[in-house]
Structure 1
């Protein structure tokens, strides 16, 4: 009974852990807390051992003595546990895509996305200004964000001049891709979002 983020903990157990932890942190004995709060030692012991459901009034007295605001007492209760994937700089999984053969480097930044592939985030690096690039066409919506360099980017019949900080969102089924690398090296973040049926 020591993980306050465990969603299976009952409220009594949660309160017991938080109250006892705070009392011990403050270096207070149950006898001292009981005397100052005007509660019996037995009651405090039962609260700390999750053996009793207590009133908010009693809990408030107890929390005042140990320096634990009621709002803080419940701040972690019932919070989703989470579980995000952190990919450190330079640690994305290098993958082969259609652009690899013409000198693009693709780093897949997330690869634990649940049962269905709903999106793919890539860090794309291009550094050959003389290269001629084909266009790409694939399912989904794509979002690109230019981090470094300057590029002339084509989507269908439109050309977009992009500098660092610029972004572009488009239907990825329509042919798209770099028209001209204006200033290299170029680094861009590309996120492809797939429809539900993908």
Structure 2
């Protein structure tokens, strides 16, 4: 089964800078995927079989012509024995600055976007999600480590195991990420929230 994928979106005011940032990301991510695939001694066809993505799409991603959605990037990373965070971490600067009105935005789920809040490799990953009304994470997930969700605007339901927590602006839920979890916006207005995971997955 092939998984739908989308190209990267870019936000910001300067069209040239936006294009440059998106191109740089696509090229560096493509190189990281190719390097990890070769280190794993996998062919493109083997990676396609493991991820459910087409071989032609994976080739385009490796060549820097497209950027996988968040869901598919996680699938690629798992197949390569690494994490999406590691593949995306193309800088080891001591400090990275992410301006609110600039940067690369990924599809988190249909109807939801994700802005990475840190580009460097490290012990944690922080991402800002904006989810439209009625939008949910595509699937529940579980992974090593811990995670917390902080709601910035709107309201959000977070399902952790058998319990569901309704969060409003300023509310935080903290849980073991080894427990199956999923978020969904059941309200009729958008929700914006921060997810921080350690270690990043």
- Output the TM-score relative to the length of structure 1: 0.48
Greater relative contact order (CA < 8 Å, ≥ 6 in sequence): 2
TM-score by length of 2: 0.47
State which structure, 1 or 2, has the greater radius of gyration over its C-alpha atoms. 1
